[in-house]
Structure formats: structure tokens, C-alpha cells
Structure 1
Amino acid sequence: MRLPETSAVLELRHAVRGWLVRHDLGSAVAVALSGGADSLALTAAAVAEAGSVDALIVDHQLQPGSAAVAATAAATALKLGCRSAHVLPVEVGREGGMEAAARKARYAALDGAREGLPVLLGHTLDDQAETVLLGLARGSGPRSIQGMAAYSPPWGRPLLGVRRTVTRQFCADLGLIPHEDPHNDSPEFTRVRLRAEVVPLLEDVLGGGVAEALGRTAEQLREDNTVLDELAHDLLRVASHGPGHTGDTHAHDVTLSCETLATAPTALRRRAIRAWLLDGGAKALTGKHLQAVDQLVTAWRGQGGVAVGGGEPGTRLVAGREHGRLTLAHTDRVRPGERE
């Protein structure tokens, strides 16, 4: 399909072409296609710029007629010139709420069907701005407001510098009719209210350019975080010792020297602790978890361990301090003095 040379079409093609050149992952890609304007525009631009494109359409089966929507998206993908189009029905669970459960099911389906290809996602600058605001509200540090990465293997996001209005204009220029997901207008979802109420208000009060400013902030923080993570990795290597010294067969093999950690700047120390906890099996770490474990290093008064998410059935994963070292082990129960 030959694309018209409108400003919207050229902007998207330039964004996709730049992403492909920067990451040099070969001539074939997969695209996650929902049928909405963002993913439709991305699919068409990818067909024009990549050697071959496979469309992956996830049917969450959450709304009546979802199979028909998915089938229409698949047919459109083939019409646009995709090499293949695959509909992936999924069962969405309930853990963490519908949004989180649907996201988990979607990414699992895409990962299982991509056959080694990078998967392009239609996240735009507007999505990035909303993500930064959500992270800011959580208050869990710079990592939560660095937004989405342009490439976090296998997920690629070529449109993080493109506004949502441009993808809609792109579809209009091609005569494409996007699917309008009713969930995108439902005020019960926080992201929808950000999109419909908060961001427009900020644009009005601050005189415009808010989405772009938030996008730049995310990019700068991501660059800073990359450097800090590298330095924290060096600190973790120096502070580490293995195997564990707890005598517990369920212990994490690596313990950390509290003395070494205590001499490091807070930003590096907490990043090192976070990486160590994640490597030991911790899940859904919060700022509260990190602060409590950090106090085992910097404010040691004989307090008990800190229970962090990630325990196995019937156990808790607990970070503690023994003989001047941080330890991590599964325990059968929360011991007296332990915190969650």
C-alpha cells in the first residue's frame, strides 16, 4: 500500500525509521495491533519502513464482539501489507485489578507469539506523559518517573516522541477507521482521568507543552538512572560475599557487607540493595521496603528483619542483618520484630 506524503505520515515514518536504524535488529519486526489509532498508524508506518512485519492482535475477550474487532484488525493488517496477522485470544485473570491482569495476559501472549522478533508497541508521547504523572503520584523515586524505554527487549516503542493527535491524523489520511475501545473513555480508570482531565488542565494552566516537557524529563531521568545503576552494580560487586552466612538452606547465596554499603551515597546504596533483593526473588518492591532494609544498614538498633514480597507458599522472604551483613532468606513465618 502506497502511503500519501502528508505531514502526519512523514512524521510517523521518520519515527519508525529512526528507531529501526538506532537499534539495528534486522529487517523483520512484529507489531502489537489493537485496532486503535496508535497501533494502526504504527503498523502502516512499520510496513513502509521495515522489511517485513507480522501483526499480533490480542483478543482480551473482555467485551462482547471482541473477536470481531480482532478479526477486523487482522484483515486490515494484511491489507496494509503485513506478512502475517495472528489473533491471540487470552484469558484475563483478576490479580491486581483488571488493567494489570489484562496487561499481564497481553504481554505474555505477545512474547509467546513473536518468534524471536522485537515487538513494536504503539505508545505515544501522550502515553509517556501519563506514565510519568502516574509514577510521580506513587512517589517511589526517579525510577518510577523515568517513563517507558524506547527499547526494552523485546519491546520497542518508536512513537514516544509522537503525539496521539498525529496518529489519528495518520489514520484519517489513509482512510483507516480505528476501533474506539470504550475502556479508553471510562472514568473508573486512573489513566483515563489523567488523559481527559489532568493533562488538559495542566496544558491550560502552564501554557501548553506539558506532554513534551514530561517526555523530556523521562528521557533525562532514564539517562541519569542508567549511569547510577552502573555505579550501583559496582558497589554491589564490592559489597557482596557468597555463599550466604545464615546457615539456612533457603538463604539467598549472596550477603552484603553493611560496612561497605554504609560508606556509599544513599542513591547508590539503595539501588544496590534493590538489585540484590530482586536477584534474591523479591517482588513488587516499594519505597517503604527499600527504606526499611536500608535502615538495617544505616540505623541498626538490633531491629528485626524486613519481610518483602516474593515468598514461596507458606513462607516469607525476609531481609535481615547478621554479623554485620545483610542476609535474605525464606522463613516459615514472620518472626517477632519483623516488618512488612
Structure 2
Amino acid sequence: MSPGRPPTRLKDVADRAGVSVKTVSNVVNDFPYVRDSTRARVQSVLDELGYQPNLSARHLRSGRTGVIALAVPELDAPYFSELASHVVRAAIEVGWTVLIDETGGDRDRERAVVAGIRGSMIDGALLSPLALHESDLDQGASAVPLVLLGERFGSGSADHVAIDNETAARELTEHLIARGRTRIAVVGSQGPPYGHTARLRLAGYRTALTEAGLTYDPSLVVPVRQWRRPAGAEAARTLLDRPDRPDAIFCLNDLLALGVLRTLADEGVVVPDDIAVAGFDDIEESRYHRPELTTVAPDKAEIARQAVARLAARLRPGPQAPAEEVTVAHQLLVRGSSGG
């Protein structure tokens, strides 16, 4: 549309295409039961005239805003920023705008997302919780359709999209054992109210040890407050101060692993010859470190697509199915930090 030119109306398109205004509306709204030849002709005219739908009017008619929320604990954590990028792309495919919020892992802020943030601002929400309790969902407090990412709840009150953290951690630990490592430390355990994901990954680690006939040593599990580089660096110093150093360190996310690698380098420890290191999440930085970091790669794009699809299903009128657990694939990426 040229500057100063009135916006193209449905009637303008209908007149040019030789069809009714209703037919043009059906094409614009992607309704079924329009013949392919008619749809193609109308779409050609829409493109030719540069028709732009009046989204405000459409949302008023439907009672929807066309805006969804994505709430994550930390926007500056690479995993969440990469996931947010995938969510925005998936939302664009269905015509949604994404409002991104940072909760800081604060329970009240996470409950505010469950309650719909503010009034009728959003149609639905995707939430990656850290401090939320099952009771916050069991009470039926969700004012908008909600899909949970990552942390798993047993309430069945909301759709949930995640990878199988326990299986992924078991596979990674099995890889380290297959490389001949027998004293495998873990960095990143956390206590309540946080740490559900950490506990799942730790459970996978323990299963792998048991199946390999290795004894679980709780003193090799180093707790941290935050899954950040400084915490990983400090945890590595703790492990290096032991008289019986580990021969491998499994970090529960990549940022912890990058901190561990920094301390090992500072102390002259050769990776992976002296100590193997592995992470979790496959953030972009893990591919550019030297040595490259062995890690578990969740399919972030598929997590985003599935989450948006579940939310779209919840926004459709009609009877609703029970809450669904969607498990997305992951991949073990063996790289130089573990001898790959």
C-alpha cells in the first residue's frame, strides 16, 4: 500500500477477484471449504493489493488479544534466551505476539503469570517455573490457558512440555562410564523449593552408576545456589581440594560446566585427560569453547512448537481434553571435553 493511499478493504479484493466479501473473509481467516482455485485467485488479489487484516477488529470479534506470555526465570541465561527465540518464531506462525516476562524464580511472580498477569492483557501463557507449588495449580487459579515448560508437576492441572531429564542424565553418565570414568562428580544439586529438574538429572546419574556397579558417593555431589558460571568455578575448586579428585564432572547445565572448565584451566588440569567434563542444554557457547563441551541437547525448537501448539489447542472453542504430558526428544552430543 502506498503512503497516503486508503487501506484496502475486503470489498476491494472481492470486486477485483469476482467473489463475495464473505468468500474473501473466509480466505483471510483460513476457513476450510473454499475451493483451491478460488482461494488461489483471492490470495493473488490480496497480495497484489497489499491487503492488511485489521487485527484489532478481529481480536474484538473473537474476544482475544492475539498476545501470549512467555515467562522464564532468567532472560540473560542462554538456554532461556535461545528458547524464547524459538517460541517467538513458533508464535509468529499462528499470528501471535509474545510478551516476555522474567520471574526471577519468585513464587509470587510465577503465580501472577498463572493468574493471567494483568486482566485481559494475554490470551494464554507459557511458564517455565522454579518456585511454583503444585497447590498453586491444584487450586484452579489459572485465569488463562497455561502450558508449563521444564519443571514437572504431578497435579495434571496444566499441559506440560519437556524432555525426559532423567533419561538424558542417565545416558550422559553412561557415556562417561564407557570412557573409563569411575569417580564422576555432579555439580548443580539444589534443595527445595527449587531444584526439581536437578533432582531428575541426579536420579538419572544415580541409575547409571547402579547399573554399572559403581557406588553412589554423596560427597561427590556439589550443591549450588544458582546454575551460573561463578558457581561452577567455585564448585570445581571444592572438588580439586579433595585428596581423591574425581576423574569426571557432570554439570547439570552448560553454564556450570563453563565455570568448571575455567577453574580447571587455571589450575593446569588437562581436560579430558585428567578430568572429563560434561554439561546439559547445548547452549551456543558450548560449541565454541576449547575443548568443545560434551552436553545434552534438548530440541528447543520442538519444545517451542509443541508448547505453542498445546496453547493453541486450549484456545479453541469446544470441549477440552485432559492436561497432556508432551515429551520432546533430546540428543547426547559427545565432544572434546569428554574425549569425543
Tell me which interval the TM-score lies in, with the shorter structure as reference length.
Answer: under 0.3
Query: Which structure would you say has the larger Rg?
Result: 2
TM-score by length of 1: 0.23
TM-score by length of 2: 0.23
Higher helix share: 1
